[in-house]
Amino acid sequence: MKTALITGASSGIGLELAKIHASKGGDLVIIARSKDKLNALKIQLEKEFGINVLVIEKDLATPNAAIEVFTETESHGIQVDYLINNAGFGLYGKFEDSDWEAENDMIQVNITALTQFTKLYLPGMIARKNGKIMNVASTAAFVPGPTMAVYCATKPYVLSFSEAVNNEVSHHGISITALCPGATASGFSKTAKADKSALFSKTKLATSEEVAQFGYAAMLKGKQVAIHGFMNQFLAFIVRFTPRSLVVKISRKVIDQ
């Protein structure tokens, strides 16, 4: 069975992805900042499914965190067959008032670590002519996001990067899937301090389990872009034909308090 490495595995979509993969008999490398939560998950999954789980406590906002993770998996002789770059966070508020250090960390986690993990694990997949990568983007990849400007700007990068590299490596038998969920009940809004925003307080949220099931299935099928939910799919389609000035205004209304 395949071994999956999942970042941001202690909660939300990442946690549910770990459960799904374990239920299929696959071993895991799970990464997050919360060692206690990861250890509890390790005990649960190993007991329930008889698999092996390696816990790596790591803050991906730290430069070279991806290299440190790669070095550890190599030292354990672990072959990563599925790389799931799920870790990411947002920040709600006007750009002029927001904290630069938090935004810098966000860029490091949402973009840099994701890119570096792909860089590190892709050569092994190419050599084996087999492997799957899933990068968690967002429906924010299709629209600018006033009051969440930096977060929403990181997600088009994830989408574009995933599509481009997928094109480069598909002939090697490797697929890269960009998962684009909408607003999800995952703990994201609390971290982003966006609980009271219209996007999370006035919208019916998908569950983390629903998004994870959808994304995992899309990854196995080798889908290039997987947008969860009909309305989110419609949004991604219709913005192509809508003036950008109007898209930004609508996005502000959807997100803002």
In this predicted structure, what is the pLDDT of residue 194?
47
pLDDT surpassing 50 at residue 189: no
Under 8 Å between Cβ of 175 and 164: no
In this predicted structure, what is the pLDDT of residue 129?
97
Cα 132 from chain centre: 14
Instruction: Identify the sign of the CA torsion 243, 245, 246, 248.
Output: positive
Name the E strands within the chain: 4-7, 28-32, 53-57, 82-85, 131-136, 174-180, 184-185, 206-207, 225-227
Assign a CATH topology to domain 4-255.
Answer: Rossmann fold (3.40.50)
pLDDT surpassing 90 at residue 252: no
Q: Which spans in 76-148 are helix H?
A: 100-107, 114-128
In this predicted structure, what is the pLDDT of residue 250?
74
Return d(Cα 40, Cα 58) in angstroms, integer: 16
Return d(Cα 61, Cα 68) in angstroms, integer: 12
Q: Name the CA radius of gyration of the chain, rounded.
A: 18
β-partners of residue 55 are: 30
pLDDT tens column, 114-141:
999 999 999 999 999 999 999 999 999 9
pLDDT surpassing 70 at residue 201: no
In this predicted structure, what is the pLDDT of residue 244?
82
Instruction: Please state, rounded to an integer, the average pLDDT across all residues of the chain.
Output: 91
At a CB cut-off of 8 Å and minimum separation 6, what does 172 contact?
125, 126, 129
Structure tokens at 15: 């946690």
At a CB cut-off of 8 Å and minimum separation 6, what does 247 contact?
143, 144, 239
Domain spans in the chain, listed from the N-terminal domain onward: 4-255
Query: Which residue type is seen at 213?
Result: Q
Say which residue, 184 or 1, is predicted with more confidence: 1
pLDDT surpassing 80 at residue 202: no
Say which residue, 248 or 103, is predicted with more confidence: 103
pLDDT surpassing 70 at residue 192: no
Give 247's pLDDT tier (boundaries 50, 70, 90). Answer: confident
Structure tokens at 47: 């007991």
Give 187's pLDDT tier (boundaries 50, 70, 90). Answer: low
What is the enclosing helix (H) or strand (E) of 199? helix 198-201
Instruction: Identify the sign of the CA torsion 167, 169, 175, 181.
Output: negative
Give 195's pLDDT tier (boundaries 50, 70, 90). Answer: low
Which stretch of 15-24, 30-39, 163-172, 235-244 has the lowest confidence by average pLDDT?
A: 235-244
At a CB cut-off of 8 Å and minimum separation 6, what does 170 contact?
none
pLDDT tens column, 137-185:
999 999 999 999 999 999 999 999 999 999 999 999 999 999 999 987 7
